[in-house]
Amino acid sequence: MAQAPRPAASQSQLLTREQAQALANRVLAMSSAEQTRVTIVSTWSGNTRFADGSITTSGGITDTSVTVTVTFGKRQASSSTNVLDEAALKRTVDLAAQLARLSPEDPELMPELGRQPYPAINAFVESTADLDPEARASAVRRAMTAATQAGKPAGQIFTAGFLEANARAFAVATSNGLFAYHRTTDADFSVTARTPDGTGSGWARSGARDWNAIDTASIGRIAAQKAVASRSPQTIDPGLYTAVLEPQAVNDLVPLLGNALNARNADEGRSPFSKPGGGTRIGEKVVDERVTLYSDPMDRALLGQPFDNQGLPLSRTVWIEKGVLRNLAYSRFWAQKHGVRPTGNALAGGLALTGGTKSTEELIAGCSRGILVTHFFYIRALDPRTVLQTGLTRDGTFLIENGKITRALKNFRWNESPLLMLNRLEDIGRPEPTEAGRLMPALRVRNFNFASLSDAV
Amino acid sequence: MSPTRRDFIKATSSTAAVLAVDGRLALDLRAQTVAAPSADAAVIDLANEALNAAKGAGASYVDVRIGRYRRQQIATRERQVAGVNDSESYGLGVRTLVNGCWGFAATSVMTKAGAQNAALEAIVMSRAARAVQARRVELAPITPVTGTWITPVKRDPLEVSLEDKIALLLSTNEAALKVKNVRFVNSGLALLREIKTLVTSEGTNVTQTMIRVGPSFSATAIGSGDFQSFEEELAPRGSGWEYVESLNMPGNAERWASMAAEKLTAKSVEAGQWDLILEPTNLWLTIHESIGHPTELDRAIGEEANYAGTSFVAPPEAVIGQLRYGPAIMNIQADRTQEGSLSRVAWDDEGVPADRWLIVEKGVFKDYQTTREQVARIQKLTGVSRSHGCSFAESWNAVQFQRMPNISLLPGDRDIGVNEIVADTQRGILIRNRGSWSIDHQRYNFQFSGQAFYEVRNGKIAGMLRDVAYQSNTPVFWRSMDMIGGTASYWLGGAFNDGKGEPSQINSVSHGCVPARFRNVTILNTARSS
């Protein structure tokens, strides 16, 4: 007979700073390369998925992986493993060295970084890292109960959803003396509610570093209310309409600008931020003058990653300030070539769009005729020259008339660009947390291109 | 219907048949030189530790998967290597049933204590899930199996020297850079070897080795204030290095790159209704999205509602044997035995033997994709009492659930190809390779693009177009199909990254098809400036 089941412990299984440093030092000592970098990722994840009154899957996963990057002259390669015994680590170091020696010289290779200063960012919350299966099941039950209650006008509401809590420790060490360590947590909860007649669907989501910031009953209730209100949707012709995008819909679209915020692509003429004739559009007005878009790991509402995979410190990076393009992402190589400060992977420091103070309700109240969007689905790039995307509305699309929601609408496929859209703003809401590391407002956008109708509920 | 055609359909109803969809015999064992390895004794010991711990703690059913994944990725740009990464991931996942509730836990701590702890954590999950349980999980019965299997390959790509791989990619890039205006080229290789052992409380004990290769190529041409890219559709396959060599990337790269340059001066498309001719390099993904996903039973019953969505192919009692998906020339086959395909295996992650069955027969929807716990939901409607073997997990650290097998459009009776379809078309657009793709959460409204577009006028290719996307509604689209290629025009596409589930998991899947024509499809012009 096995021992009695124990509660699923969590953060105790993440590597501590001391353990990570000891492991990194062990690996560095095994390498005889000219330069070596070790990155360590130690994770715990607990999840619970439910549908139609039952928990359908539930899981707890722990893992720690080590990546070794070695350099000989201008030759570099990486190898990684999650087998942490002496023999496996040595094999991984040797394989990286072997691959590096076989690789051609990389003229763009930068030396590994030495010791760096990092700000202390407390992004690790015990309540998230300790969320056990019983607590997750209770949270799911609270959401289902609230959804059932709020869904009563439509009958027996169907709910499906997902709860996930993650804890992660991330460390980087180099043979040049760098050591960086950061711990973080995040939790996410979402519910989809569907009415029994099959004509209504609603959705709500909340995400945060701190599990205690998530009210699962409220998420269940909002999803069900949207489902009830979205029943029997009516058809209006596709076309250009004013759109009120809830913060989650903005969260689906605006971060897609991140791929375009790359200095090299802009310099090379393959970006919307390329200047005709060469160079970038830094310093030019690229969107509405009320909009500011930034990444900042120190921002208390973002609590992003303080360094990137090379150990480069990440700091506040303002991409767009009052409509003007201020920064693009510069790798260390590209920054050196252009004599500017490298931003590294600054987007890992979180992303926030600011510029307004109103609530979503106030944006709706200020709209004479338009379409309210809960969130988007299946977004794919159409044209990198304009960051044009296609996708669909989902789980609550409504007509606004004279400042009020008047009717449920069928879903639309849309073809729209977050960049072009930010040039057609009527109003901007206050930034709200949409997921861990993100602050996005509701937006009211003129001439949003709702291109075709979808029969999907 | 020709004899070939009849035999073809007949073969689909027999699990013993080894006729591949492309008409060739699937298993040429003489070609295989890499033997299937057995599990290490230590792996079996660890699996049994977890199995016994879970049984001892009250599980009515347990399965333990131990996986060792080795991946190698090589990326190049122009005349340099952008990255060489080699990774290994090894661990154990244990799934338990207690009182009809699932629990799952996974660990990379591969010791007796690690295995036991994971088993007991899974039991905690199972017991906690009872607080929210409207329905008990019941598994369709199977006969326990033991054995080993390996993807048939002549040469394991991970055993090919890195120098040879890099030389292949850099010579590919060099050839592409000869093309005027082509300034950027990316090429790469993604290689996988997965060794997976499954041990269950019912007595199944199997070890399988899956080998997959994924080559890639794209080129970007810069014009004055403009840029255009072209990505060649180099299908990833469940194959060995011999497949990569057969693509002759260095020999073809100049031709591929010239497509990017040609797009700079192509005519922007006139939006409206056009007849559409889709080459297999484009159509495979449309099949994946508009037939593969809507015929997943978990979607049809709502289990995927919060993420990938539900399905218009629902409820099962209203659609099985009744829903007209397309014309009588449309036969859609699911197949986990197909040579070279990505989802080919001998057993799924519940120990169910690989299966082949029809999803759509003569245009009518016939059956879903299933796992063991789903069988009872539709058994009375389909008469099928076995699981179709669609249970898969992306790794040891993820729980298995219903995933898509290879799903393919079978060839038509007439021995024709894309040239004959073009010759028969008055005003149309021919599309090659996949571009952007997007489809709604019940799989009605989709919009797909491509990499190269040609205007067809009076039965002839009349020049290149750009800014093209086609948008339609799944049943309307498939019912408009009026001409399809024959066996000789069949081609197998696929992808490593089919996403579904929460937490999201990827699945490798292939889709075979022939070129096909669709009438009066909405074509959009995707260029926009404000």
Joined tokens for residue B186: 């990316």
Among candidate residues A166, A164, A167, the one with its CA nearest the CA of residue A136: A164
Distance CA B42, CA B65 (A): 14
pLDDT tens profile A426-442:
999 999 999 999 999 99
Minimal C-alpha gap between A52 and chain B (Å): 7
Cα dihedral sign, A430-A434-A440-A444: negative
SS3 sequence of B165-203: HHHHHHHHHHHHCCCCCEEEEEEEEEEEEEEEEEEECCC
Query: What mean pLDDT do residues A390-394 have?
Result: 97
pLDDT above 70 (res B6) = no
Q: Which residues in chain A touch residue B222, judged by CB atoms under 8 angstroms apart?
A: 268-270
Answer whether B167 touches A (CB < 8 Å).
no
CB pairs A-B closer than 8 Å: 294
Query: What pLDDT band is residue A267 in, cutting at 50, 70 and 90?
Result: very high
Among candidate residues B289, B291, B278, B357, the one with its CA nearest the CA of residue B325: B291
Q: Cβ A104–B170 below 8 Å, yes or no?
A: yes
pLDDT tens profile A81-96:
999 999 999 999 999 9
What 3-state class would DSSP assign to A243? strand
Distances (CA, A) of B396 to A42, B69, B91, B105, B107: 16, 9, 6, 10, 8
The amino acid that residue B176 corresponds to is: A
Distance CA A391, CA A452 (A): 11
The answer, yes or no, to whether the previous bond of A7 is cis (omega within 30 of 0) is no
Q: Which residues in chain B touch residue A5, judged by CB atoms under 8 angstroms apart?
A: 57, 120-121, 123-124, 127
Q: Which residues in chain A touch residue B436, judged by CB atoms under 8 angstroms apart?
A: 380-382, 390
pLDDT tens profile B496-530:
999 999 999 999 999 999 999 999 999 999 987 77
Q: Cβ B129–A55 below 8 Å, yes or no?
A: yes
| DSSP assignment letter at B487 | G
> Of the candidates B85, B127, B436, which has its C-beta nearest A390's C-beta?
B436
Residues 220-249 of B with CB under 8 A from A: 220, 222, 225-227, 229
Query: What mean pLDDT do residues A169-184 have?
Result: 98
Q: Which residues in chain B touch residue A132, judged by CB atoms under 8 angstroms apart?
A: 124, 128
Query: What pLDDT band is residue A12 in, cutting at 50, 70 and 90?
Result: low
Among A413, A414, A445, which would you mutate to test the B interface (most chain B Cβ atoms within 10 Å of its Cβ)?
A413
Joined tokens for residue B380: 């009375």
Per-residue pLDDT, A13: 78
Where are the alpha helices (H) located in B249-293, listed in sequence order?
249-264, 280-287
Please provide the distance, in angstroms rounded to a whole number, between the alpha carbons at the two ends of chain B: 53
pLDDT above 60 (res A43) = yes
SS3 sequence of B96-116: EEECCEEEEEEECCCCHHHHH
Query: At a CB cut-off of 8 Å and minimum separation 6, what does A136 contact?
Result: A46, A47, A48, A58, A163, A165, B128
What 3-state class would DSSP assign to B263? helix
Q: Which residues in chain A touch residue B133, judged by CB atoms under 8 angstroms apart?
A: 53-55
Q: Cβ B471–A190 below 8 Å, yes or no?
A: no
Distance CA B311, CA A367 (A): 34
Answer whether B166 touches A (CB < 8 Å).
yes
Per-residue pLDDT, A103: 87
pLDDT tens profile B128-139:
999 999 999 999
Query: At a CB cut-off of 8 Å and minimum separation 6, what does B344 contact?
Result: B151, B238, B336, B337, B338, B354, B406
Q: Cβ B306–A161 below 8 Å, yes or no?
A: yes
Q: Cβ B116–A161 below 8 Å, yes or no?
A: no
Cα dihedral sign, A12-A17-A18-A23: positive
Distance CA B78, CA B222 (A): 14
Answer whether B504 touches A (CB < 8 Å).
no
pLDDT tens profile B207-263:
999 999 999 999 999 998 889 999 999 999 999 999 999 999 999 999 999 999 999
Per-residue pLDDT, B259: 97
Minimal C-alpha gap between B110 and chain A (Å): 8
Minimal C-alpha gap between B409 and chain A (Å): 24
pLDDT tens profile B47-84:
999 999 999 999 999 999 999 999 999 999 999 998 89
Cα angle B151, B155, B160; round to 5 = 125
Per-residue pLDDT, B27: 40
